[in-house]
Structure 1
Amino acid sequence: MRDIAVALVVFGLLPFVLKRPFWGILLLAWLGYMNPHRLCYGFMLSFPVVYVVALTTMIGMLVSKEAKRIVWSREMTVLVLLVVWMGLTTTQAMYSAEAWVQYQKVLKIQLLTMMTLVMLTSREKVHAFVWVIVLSLGFYGTKGGIFTIAKGGEQRVWGPEGTFIGGNNELALALVMTIPLMRYLQLHSKRRLVRLGLGAAMFLSAVSAIGSQSRGALLALSVMGLLFWLKGRRKLLIGVLTIAAAAVILALMPDAWYERMATIETYQDDASAQGRINAWWTAWNLAKDRFMGGGFEVFKGPTFRIYAPNPEDVHDVHSIYFEMMGEHGFLGLALFLGLLWLAWLKCSTVIKMGRKDPSKAWAGDLAAMIQVSLAGFMVGGAFLGLAYFDYPYHLIALVVVTHALARGDPKSAGAPAPAAPPRPAPQRPAAASLPAPRLARGPK
């Protein structure tokens, strides 16, 4: 039944995507974040559904008359440079075959990011795109939160297998990044029932992130909570609710959870933490020795035997920063950090615009919450290898478009061009110049 339901939704929408390619962008976001096809057991599990929808969307973008404009900015320039640099490092990769496969995946992700950028041409479309992300990941947050409460926190929460968020750590980070977007929608939802539902989803997503037993997610959630409070409108109310929610969540967790979280301070005695540090040193030594790094998929046994302090402890790098450093060298890391920094500055600019002009308050709120999401990614990503996850790149595209919309730039934002001034109405002759009308004369 799941396969049939997902197939009906996807293939039923394809004809409409040709006419409204923005529907394809929303459909791709749903497939990319919720991964409904990965929850199936039959033919949809292995069907190239994303490829079919992406191809249909591209055709629709070429043939439809729907508004589409690309917003070019310094962030997009740095992103293109980063992707090009990844291609150059792939030509010199230590494991060429695996590297080219991974580079093709990265190119597909960035192509979809650019397609999203082209089609986000209005506030309404930005709002709809955020809703799709929130509903897709909120599904796992709500489900995982209920599961954690029901099991008393004894079992970990996992994502759909074979996806970016399949692991407990990866899912937790994605949920941490989604909670601020839920808050944005809550601020701009008129219906009280919707606001209450989003509040419940925020709480359950936090419970789910904690229930994943991810130490990185705990740190990211702590930093996100602080920024959430700093950027919130009602600081007293938000502070009280955040502390109350944290107290309830921590009360649900078993002793095993506290023992695992305590290893953050005693990392030197934790084998997993020591393995990550060994991998980080491997990335550092590799980048110093090879200007272009080792290329994609470089963290393998032979690499560790050359560059690792402990050659026998082969471990995944588990860090967006050391992943970039080891695979693409110091220049690749610099481009990656520069992209995040520029996106952060762009958020700050939009926040200021929203404070000065009440009509742009929505843009300021969205930029503030994107900034909180990026902070969660940068903190949690220090302990996870998610440098190529499409989520942060979508957030960057969102803030770039939001900035263009807030500026009211019709060429960049895809808004309709200003109408030509109306032509003056033709002047009627003065009354004195008109001939006097003849009056009918009756019989004498």
Structure 2
Amino acid sequence: MRDILVTLIVLGSLPLILKRPYIGILMWVWISVMNPHTQGWGFAATFPFAAIVAGVTFVSLFFTKESKGLPLTPVTWIFIAFVLWMNVTTIFALYPDDAYIQWNKVIKIMLMTFVTLMLIKTKKHVQLLILVIVVSLGYYGVKGGIFTIKSGGVDMVWGPEGTFIGGNNEIALALIMTIPLMHYLQIISPNKWVRHGLTAAMLLCAVAALGSYSRGALLAIAAMGAFLWLKSRQKAGLGFLAVLAIPPLLAFMPDQWSLRMDSINTYEEDESVQGRFNAWWMAYNLAKDRPLTGGGFEVAMPELFYRYAPNPIDIHAAHSIYFQALGEHGFVGLGLYLLLGFMTWRTGSWIIRSTAKRDDYMWAYNLATMIQVSLIGFAVGGAFLSLLYFDVPYYLMAAMVATRLLVEKELKEKAALAVIEKRSGTQRQLGNLNPSQSQRIAGDSG
């Protein structure tokens, strides 16, 4: 039944995509982030829904008369440079065959991110994009939260198998990133029942994140919560809510969960943590040897660990977006990735400064704030996970760019209109005065 439902939704969307190409982006995000076909057990599990949606979107993009130019902002230029550099490092990859397989997966995500930048243009588009991300990840948050409550927190929460968020740590970070986006939808929703439903969903996402037993997620949610409190205009209310909600959630979790979280304080004795450190040293030493290009995609190989890692037999993936970028794309790749994050953050800060005192742009102010909160969670949690190519942060980058361009354009138009109205008012005033008074006022205004 699930297979049929997903198939009907995807095939039913194709005529809409041909008419409105931005719908293709929304469908792509839904399929790539939620992976709804993995929730079935029949033919849909291996059906190429994403390829079909992408193909129809490109056809629609080619024929549409709507605006579809790539916004050439500083963020976009850095993103272009980062993607181009991935291609360069693939040419010089240490393991070309393995690197090509991974490149083929990653470049599709990056290509569709470019299409997202081209098609997501309006306030409606941006808010629909956020809604699709929230629905796609929130499904697993609500489901995982209920599962954790029913099991008493004994059983671990996992994501959909075979996806970016399939592991317990990965799904936890994705859910943490979703909570601020849910809060944004809660802020802009006029329906009180929707707001209450989103409150419940946020709590269930938090419970599911705890139920993942992810220590990195705990650090991420702490950092994100602290930043959210600092950015909030209702610090007292938010602090009171945290005091009410956090202790019961922590008390609900079983002793085995507490023991795992306490191991953060004894990381020197934890094999998993030491394995991460080993992988980080391997990536750093590899980048020192190949500072420009790194090793290319797929460097978690026994030969490289034997050559570059302190413990050659403890082979792990990078388990860090930063060391993953360093090991696979060298210091240049890491620099471009960090610069991309910094400029995306600066874009959000510009939106916040420009709209802070304007009620007509509170949607943009709150969106930029919540995306920044979400990115804080990813920046902290991603330090312990190999999620360099996780697509959601790139979609949030696109939403930030689209929002800034939209706000910037409208503010300029309103400023120009205000100047015209001021000049018209002056001219009307001059028309009602005698010649000597008109000359004096015209001279003052000039």
CA distance in 1 between counterparts of 2:190 and 2:409 reads: 24
What does 1:268-307 align with in structure 2 at a 5 Å threshold?
268-291=268-291, 292-307=293-308
Q: How many residues align?
A: 414
The Cα offsets for residues 362-401 of structure 1, whole Å up to 9 and x where unpaired, read as: 1111000110111000000000000011111111111111
Amino acid at match of 1:64: T
Aligned partners of 1:279 and 1:314 also within 8 Å: yes
2:18 corresponds to 1:18: yes
What does 1:158-307 align with in structure 2 at a 5 Å threshold?
158-291=158-291, 292-307=293-308
CA distance in 1 between counterparts of 2:93 and 2:360 reads: 50
Q: How many angstroms does 1:65 deviate by?
A: 3.0
RMSD: 1.6
The Cα offsets for residues 381-431 of structure 1, whole Å up to 9 and x where unpaired, read as: 0000000111111111111110011112699x9xxxx9xx9xxxxxxxxxx
The Cα offsets for residues 273-308 of structure 1, whole Å up to 9 and x where unpaired, read as: 111101111011100011211110001111101101
Aligned partners of 1:374 and 1:392 also within 8 Å: yes
Q: Please give the secondary structure, in 2, of the residue aligned with 1:265.
A: helix
The Cα offsets for residues 261-282 of structure 1, whole Å up to 9 and x where unpaired, read as: 1111111111111111011110
Which position in structure 2 is the counterpart of 1:384? 385
Amino acid at match of 2:217: A
Q: How many angstroms does 1:353 deviate by?
A: 1.1
Amino acid at match of 1:65: K
- Give the share of equivalent positions with the same residue, in percent: 52
Aligned partners of 2:169 and 2:216 also within 8 Å: yes
Which position in structure 1 is the counterpart of 2:91? 91
Amino acid at match of 2:164: F
Unaligned runs of 5+ in 2: 421-446
Runs of 4+ in 1 over 4 A off after TM superposition: none
Q: Which has the larger radius of gyration?
A: 1
More deviation, 183-192/99-108 = 99-108
> So what's the TM-score if we normalise by structure 2?
0.90
Compared with structure 1, are the counterparts of its residues 7 and 410 closer, same or farther at alpha carbon in structure 2 (3 Å cutoff)?
A: farther
CA distance in 1 between counterparts of 2:374 and 2:63 reads: 35
Amino acid at match of 1:193: W
Q: How many angstroms does 1:69 deviate by?
A: 3.6
The Cα offsets for residues 127-178 of structure 1, whole Å up to 9 and x where unpaired, read as: 1111111111111111111111111110111111111111111101011111
Which position in structure 2 is the counterpart of 1:344? 345
Q: Please give the secondary structure, in 1, of the residue aligned with 2:375.
A: helix
Amino acid at match of 2:295: G
Which position in structure 1 is the counterpart of 2:334? 333
CA distance in 2 between counterparts of 1:324 and 1:409 reads: 37
The Cα offsets for residues 303-344 of structure 1, whole Å up to 9 and x where unpaired, read as: 101101111111121000010111111111111111101111
Amino acid at match of 2:97: A
CA distance in 1 between counterparts of 2:64 and 2:85 reads: 33
CA distance in 2 between counterparts of 1:341 and 1:245 reads: 32
Amino acid at match of 1:161: E
The Cα offsets for residues 108-140 of structure 1, whole Å up to 9 and x where unpaired, read as: 101111111111111011111111111111111
Aligned partners of 2:21 and 2:64 also within 8 Å: yes
